[in-house]
Amino acid sequence: MSAQDRKDYYYKKAKQQNYRSRAAFKLMELQTKSSILKYGDNVLEIGSSPGGWTQIIRSITERPVISVDLNDMEPIEGVYFIRGNISNPAINERIKPYMEKLHIEKFSAVLSDAMSRTSGKRDIDHSSSYLLCKRVMEISMDLLAEGGTVVVKQFQGDLTIPFLNEWSPRFRNSRITNVAASRESSSEVYIIFKGYISEHETDQFSQSPL
């Protein structure tokens, strides 16, 4: 199947099944391959608009979702949408009041499909997605529960393996994967981190006698 045929195929499938975007099939595939979410999880979703992933998250967790995007998003029942830029360090302070309202102390998972408009230039797309991934990790260090999961999307490049190496010590498992629902020509990958080890526990490990 050509890249265009693949795009059309998932676009039609999303329309038929009432998903807001063909991206919904990417999360379904990640879920099937890597069991990212479970019933009852509290999820922070980044780069949510127009809401295909949000629909999938809601259907699995059956919990309220807090979703953030630069662009507006049509309402979905049980979804608390924040229109904001994750590159702004103040974003955490905009998320926290919703956490309090929903009695969420920390999130079970932070999922990001965020990507700025692609330029078609590999290096530029790689570095802009790398910077978004870095911000998602920084936000997660503040808001993720012990044992939690992070998923980020990245356009592969020179910094992908260093990125994985930098963040994987903070988790029990990490892996890079791609999905069939991505465009064939795309260098898009998802990086999955599972089993967050909070600073506190890391300190305990480092202090415990050998």
Ligand X SMILES: C[S@@+](CC[C@H](N)C(=O)[O-])C[C@H]1O[C@@H](n2cnc3c(N)ncnc32)[C@H](O)[C@@H]1O
Extract the tokens encoding 165: 């190496």
Of 12, 15, 26, 153, the catalytic one is 153
Query: Is there binding between residue 70 and ligand X (CB under 6 A)?
Result: yes
Q: Which range binds ligand X by CB under 6 A, 5-13, 80-88, 187-195, 200-208?
A: 80-88
Per CB under 6 A, contacts with ligand X among 98-127 are: 113-116
Please work out, in degrees rounded to the nearest 5, the angle formed at the alpha carbon of residue 48 by the alpha carbons of 190 and 128: 55
Alpha-carbon span 97 to 28, nearest angstrom: 29
Q: Is 52 in the site for ligand X (CB under 6 A)?
A: yes
Taking each helix axis from N to C end, the angle separating 122-143 and 91-101, rounded to the nearest 10 degrees, works out to 40
How far apart are alpha carbons 142 and 200 in whole angstroms? 12
Is 153 a known active-site residue? yes
Shortest separation between residue 110's beta carbon and ligand X, angstroms: 13
What letter represents residue 44's amino acid? L
Q: How far is the CB of 92 from ligand X (least distance, A)?
A: 13
Greatest distance between any 2 Cα atoms in the chain: 59
Site for ligand X in 3-22 (CB under 6 A): 20-21
**Using rule CB under 6 A, residue 24 touches ligand X:** yes
Query: C-alpha angle 201/161/146, rounded to 5°?
Result: 20
Pick one of 47, 108, 149, 170: the residue that binds ligand X (CB under 6 A): 47
In the chain, the DSSP E strands lie at 43-46, 65-69, 79-83, 107-112, 144-155, 171-177, 188-196
Among 32, 59, 85, 119, the residue binding ligand X under the rule CB under 6 A is 85
Of 13 and 168, nearer to ligand X (C-beta) is 13
Site residues for ligand X, 177-196, by CB under 6 A, read none
Kindly state whether residue 49 participates in binding ligand X, applying the rule CB under 6 A: yes
**CB-wise, 128 or 174, nearer to ligand X?**
128
C-alpha span between 88 and 86 (Å, rounded) = 5
Which residues sit at the interface with ligand X, rule CB under 6 A? 20-21, 23-24, 47-53, 68-71, 85-87, 113-116, 132
Active site residues: 153
